[in-house]
Chains A and B, each alone.
Chain A
């Protein structure tokens, strides 16, 4: 359902051209939980931006849900981001002035969902991430873990095809991090397709499959043998 073929991207820095992605091909099936790993500068973030339709490749194809994304206009890309992709960022990226509820409603506003329906779905989504009591809090009144949960609720509220998480635990303490990973695994078990970018092997091992980037190419693509299961407490159990 997500297929990338021969993706390249380079950036101009002054006179020289810096290649970031040098022909990346990847297929992710519906319902998979994939971790993308690699050192900084390996191209994984750029790849993530491509998958998130925030950036266009120089060449190659990207098909999402049967749509050839690389040929779309800006306006259509915005629609794809809105309908098919849910983002979870390292730094949460919530609107600071708005309440949790309003933050979760935002994608639905751009989707043109009516007011009552919007509110209902936002409350539902916040309930699913365990923040039913905190819907009128602003981000500054929430802990890091709670903020990330608002972001997850926001990412899921338009029922996207994939959830893209870019270092979602990077700004969290280990306990909150585990909480978030437990949530991802829970969502995965419910059938949500998740792509997680991380540089921490321990986080990556929560996924089913790890794709490793180096110097703009995929150097390894493997199933996770000893998958970590996060339980929302201090301990992490290996199966």
Chain B
């Protein structure tokens, strides 16, 4: 009997026991659905987050003082001048800026708000393309050098502080200091950031003049291209170690490293969840085996008839195997559709970009036919091995 005939008679067999075949499929459907949904969401989420991270510049890197370093930390471990020098001496660094991050209360005519206050130099927008000036201007090198008390506010913050009034040229109070608003900006924020506070930028030299011991939290650099990121980081660390006479005191991390680290973590997570979901697939497979065994017993007489009419062991084996593979494949198909639907639904509500992974679809099909064969083999073999006389006598 050729495969096509076996295929047809298998379909007839499945159709003749619709309810039972449906319930058998359900196990596979649930298993495949969960695997597909998990992997699609995992991969989709991963890609979404990575593209968010890359928005901040694939060539960018941060240099900071290693917290684990044995050396004592000092305020002048990182200085504004370090950034200036590094910008000049390293051919691999396009720009590098110092950054000091604090929180402050800013008070405008309408309201007072707690903000993240970033102190940096005029080159900052070149390093961080996500910050775009919308009105006025970012502060200049001259503003910085002359310690001018100026501030650039996030657009929404300006609205909070000033209402509908044009904030440019107006003043905001920060404690006892008064700052002139010279610009506003819009920020393409990291979409998955839960923090919703506003930010404002001030020139770092002005900011430092307010403290006795001014700190620089870290440096943000941008390499000339992707390939020179590592060299740029090395050069920065080398320079800083030599300049401050502190070996092993500095560390640098690139966006690329963070992305790949993140990928590794989410990849592992996705895999763990897939395996958990895969367990339900195995349970589904056991269900298939169970029903196939029942089916073999039920159709003992049919098997006897077929054997008496000249069916070889292989014919019977193939017939039952095809039946279980078809059940699993149909289950798999429904599972893939449901899984992708579930993933699409979740990504819609979680505001992730919808994403399906052809990989997982392929794997799901391969997996469900493998399950069909694996769990169908035992019952099919049992059927094939039946003695024709016993089978014919079976009531």
A81 to B388, CA, bound (A): 11
Among the interface residues B12, B305, B310, B312, which one has the most CB atoms of the partner chain A within 10 A?
A: B310
Cβ-defined partner of A93 (8 Å) among B5, B16, B305, B389: B305
Asked if B313 CB lies within 8 Å of chain A CBs, one says yes
Minimum Cβ distance to chain B for residue A46 (Å): 9
Chain B count of residues within 8 A CB distance of the other chain: 23
Asked if B307 CB lies within 8 Å of chain A CBs, one says yes
A182 to B125, CA, bound (A): 104
User: Do residues B308 and A52 form an inter-chain contact, with CB atoms below 8 A?
Assistant: yes
Minimum Cβ distance to chain B for residue A119 (Å): 13
For B2, the chain A residues whose CB sits under 8 A away are 112
Minimum Cβ distance to chain B for residue A219 (Å): 24
For A52, the chain B residues whose CB sits under 8 A away are 308
For A55, the chain B residues whose CB sits under 8 A away are 389
User: Contacts A54-B392, A97-B12; is A106 near B312 (CB within 8 Å)?
Assistant: no
User: Do residues A81 and B392 form an inter-chain contact, with CB atoms below 8 A?
Assistant: no
A interface footprint on B1-45 (CB within 8 Å = 1, 0 otherwise) = 110010000001100100000000000000000000000000000
Residue of A nearest to B392 (CB): A93
Minimum Cβ distance to chain B for residue A76 (Å): 9
User: Do residues B313 and A93 form an inter-chain contact, with CB atoms below 8 A?
Assistant: no
User: Do residues B392 and A79 form an inter-chain contact, with CB atoms below 8 A?
Assistant: no
Chain B contact residues, majority secondary structure: helix
User: Do residues B309 and A87 form an inter-chain contact, with CB atoms below 8 A?
Assistant: yes
B interface footprint on A85-98 (CB within 8 Å = 1, 0 otherwise) = 00101000111011
User: Do residues B310 and A95 form an inter-chain contact, with CB atoms below 8 A?
Assistant: no
User: Do residues A109 and B1 form an inter-chain contact, with CB atoms below 8 A?
Assistant: yes
Minimum Cβ distance to chain A for residue B313 (Å): 6
Minimum Cβ distance to chain A for residue B44 (Å): 45
User: Do residues A110 and B388 form an inter-chain contact, with CB atoms below 8 A?
Assistant: no
Which residues of A from 48 to 80 have beta carbons under 8 Å from B? 49, 52, 54-55, 74-75, 78-79
Asked if B302 CB lies within 8 Å of chain A CBs, one says yes
User: Do residues A109 and B5 form an inter-chain contact, with CB atoms below 8 A?
Assistant: yes
Residue of A nearest to B385 (CB): A74
Among the interface residues A74, A78, A94, A97, which one has the most CB atoms of the partner chain B within 10 A?
A: A78
Minimum Cβ distance to chain B for residue A108 (Å): 9
User: Do residues A93 and B308 form an inter-chain contact, with CB atoms below 8 A?
Assistant: yes
Asked if B315 CB lies within 8 Å of chain A CBs, one says yes
Asked if A206 CB lies within 8 Å of chain B CBs, one says no
For B283, the chain A residues whose CB sits under 8 A away are none
For B304, the chain A residues whose CB sits under 8 A away are 93
Residue of B nearest to A75 (CB): B312
A58 to B255, CA, bound (A): 80
A106 to B302, CA, bound (A): 12
For B311, the chain A residues whose CB sits under 8 A away are 78, 110
User: Do residues B310 and A49 form an inter-chain contact, with CB atoms below 8 A?
Assistant: no
Cβ-defined partner of B310 (8 Å) among A89, A94, A97, A110: A110
User: Do residues A95 and B302 form an inter-chain contact, with CB atoms below 8 A?
Assistant: yes
Asked if A83 CB lies within 8 Å of chain B CBs, one says yes
A79 to B392, CA, bound (A): 18
User: Do residues B310 and A83 form an inter-chain contact, with CB atoms below 8 A?
Assistant: yes
User: Contacts A95-B302, A109-B5; is A82 near B388 (CB within 8 Å)?
Assistant: no
Minimum Cβ distance to chain B for residue A157 (Å): 10
User: Do residues A107 and B310 form an inter-chain contact, with CB atoms below 8 A?
Assistant: yes
User: Do residues B309 and A154 form an inter-chain contact, with CB atoms below 8 A?
Assistant: yes
A interface footprint on B195-226 (CB within 8 Å = 1, 0 otherwise) = 00000000000000000000000000000000
User: Contacts A95-B302, A97-B12; is A110 near B392 (CB within 8 Å)?
Assistant: no
Minimum Cβ distance to chain B for residue A204 (Å): 23
A64 to B20, CA, bound (A): 44
User: Do residues B310 and A81 form an inter-chain contact, with CB atoms below 8 A?
Assistant: yes
Minimum Cβ distance to chain B for residue A129 (Å): 17
User: Contacts A95-B302, A95-B305; is A78 near B312 (CB within 8 Å)?
Assistant: yes
Residue of A nearest to B310 (CB): A82
Asked if A111 CB lies within 8 Å of chain B CBs, one says yes
Asked if B251 CB lies within 8 Å of chain A CBs, one says no
User: Contacts A49-B389, A109-B1, A109-B5; is A78 near B307 (CB within 8 Å)?
Assistant: yes
User: Do residues B389 and A79 form an inter-chain contact, with CB atoms below 8 A?
Assistant: no
User: Contacts A93-B301, A97-B16, A112-B2; is A106 near B389 (CB within 8 Å)?
Assistant: no
Asked if B382 CB lies within 8 Å of chain A CBs, one says no
Residue of A nearest to B388 (CB): A54
For A79, the chain B residues whose CB sits under 8 A away are 310, 312
Asked if B132 CB lies within 8 Å of chain A CBs, one says no
User: Contacts A95-B302, A110-B1; is A82 near B389 (CB within 8 Å)?
Assistant: no
A111 to B315, CA, bound (A): 11
Which residues of A from 38 to 52 have beta carbons under 8 Å from B? 49, 52
Cβ-defined partner of B392 (8 Å) among A89, A94, A106, A109: A89
Residue of B nearest to A81 (CB): B310
Residue of B nearest to A86 (CB): B309
Q: Which 7 A-B pairs have the closest CB atoms?
A: A82-B310, A110-B310, A78-B312, A107-B309, A54-B388, A109-B1, A93-B305
Please give the residue numbers on chain B whose beta carbons come within 8 Å of chain A beta carbons, in ascending order. Answer: 1-2, 5, 12-13, 16, 301-302, 304-315, 388-389, 392
Q: List 19 A-B contacts (CB under 8 A).
A: A54-B307, A55-B389, A75-B313, A78-B307, A79-B310, A81-B307, A81-B308, A82-B309, A87-B308, A93-B392, A97-B12, A97-B13, A97-B16, A98-B12, A107-B310, A109-B5, A110-B306, A110-B309, A112-B1
